[in-house]
Amino acid sequence: MSKYDDIINLNRPISKHKHQSIDSRAAQFAPFAALTGYESAIKETARLTDEKIEVNDELREILNNKLNFLNNHIKEKNEVTIFHFIKDDKKNGGKYVSKKGIIKRIDPVNETIKFEDNTIITMNDIIDIKGDLFED
């Protein structure tokens, strides 16, 4: 007689707990992130930003002439594209983007340009203005 004869033919004990699905059982062995936020911090560090270009006097004069011309012809509702700098909220620098639309108002006191869709651009962030009205 072996030492397990008394238990060898017994039924398996019934658990009080509900059986897990195969997916749930597999999930308990899934890897976890020991350093939460580490992955996003690495991605943020790797993200590149541009430095803001300092506008020289010659370019500033060209931009001022274009803005004055736009202001004088604002009622004509000409479509323009303004290339400007947007400062990054999380790190030094930012990026250059273009905004195309019709200008609603040019405010020389606050140095802002407001488009018809209520987008506001600061004049100091502009590096170029293009449009059909400047072609002539």
Topology of domain 57-134, CATH: SH3 type barrels. (2.30.30)
pLDDT for 117 equals: 94
- Among 124, 112, 117, 123, smallest CA distance to 100 is for 117
Q: What pLDDT shows up at residue 13?
A: 83
Q: Where along the chain do its domains lie?
A: 57-134
Output DSSP code: residue 8: T
Give the pLDDT of residue 91: 83
What is the pLDDT, as a whole number, of residue 1?
65
Give the helix/strand (H/E) hosting 78.
Answer: none
pLDDT at 109: 92
Residue whose pair of structure tokens reads 């990026």 in the numeric block: 95
Q: Residue 66: what pLDDT?
A: 93
Angle (CA) 124 108 72, round 5°: 110
pLDDT, mean of each 10-residue run, the chain (136 residues): 84 85 80 76 81 89 92 90 91 90 92 94 93 80
pTM of the predicted protein model = 0.66
